[in-house]
Amino acid sequence: MGKSRRYRLRLDEVKVQAFQARLLAWFRRNGRDLPWRRTRDPYKILVSEVMLQQTQVERVREYYERFVQEYPTVQDLAAARPARVRESWEGLGYYARARNLHAAARTIERRHGGKVPRRLEEVLALPGVGRYTAGAVLSFAYGEPAPILDTNVRRVLSRIFASRRAASPAGGERRLWALAEAVIPAGKAWAFNQALMDFGATVCTARNPGCSTCPMRRLCAYYAGAAS
């Protein structure tokens, strides 16, 4: 999708397939039970992803459930007064997110007939939605093979598929987006993208990663380098 299709990657397909299989198997056993994973409602997924911007998962749990009870549909949120939406967000911080989410709901109601769009360009055009949030909505709500690249996913992919340093930060970012898209197994975007985030958050952590028991250690370039 987008620029990532134009970035040329050289990947070991056997390694990619092994990575996909091991990650999905790990997720089936260890995936976190999060309230926004119990729905495929694009609106509720959008709410959760906006809340998760710059905020820890555990802090979002209580706010998410309360918010979607108060505004169960995009129409309910679009019709709400800005002051009421601000009050509903009270305590979660980064209040521009609440304003953007409210504006996105009104845009969806006005331009898309009350349905969250499923085209990348249209999702990206919503207020407060960047490439990561758009990919999350498309893959988690619609099962589209849309890449996501947050801090956890970036770390996992960089460690497993390490390569020469890119000539520029922009080149490195393009490669990671292309990689995040290339490794999504056909028909399994929801589970795979969720698994990438969970694996980075709980096993392949920034500090003290669980390399000794990691199911990826035989595939991991980072582990191979550390062990040599």
Q: Which of 13, 49, 58, 65 is catalytic?
A: 49
Cβ–Cβ < 8 Å for 48, 221 = no
Q: Residue 1's pLDDT band (boundaries 50, 70, 90)?
A: very low
Please write the tens of the pLDDT for every residue from 43-68: 999 999 999 998 999 999 989 999 99
| pTM attached to this predicted model | 0.90
Q: What's the pLDDT tens digit per position in 79-123?
A: 999 999 999 999 999 999 999 999 999 999 999 999 999 999 999
Fold classification of 35-142 (topology level)? Endonuclease III; domain 1 (1.10.340)
**For domain 2-33+146-227, which architecture applies?**
Orthogonal Bundle (1.10)
Burial string for 102-123 (b: 16+ CB within 10 Å, else e) reads bbbbbbbbeebeeebbbebebb
Domain ranges, ordered by start, for the chain: 2-33+146-227, 35-142
Two domains, one topology: 2-33+146-227 and 35-142:
no
> Does 49 participate in catalysis according to the annotation?
yes
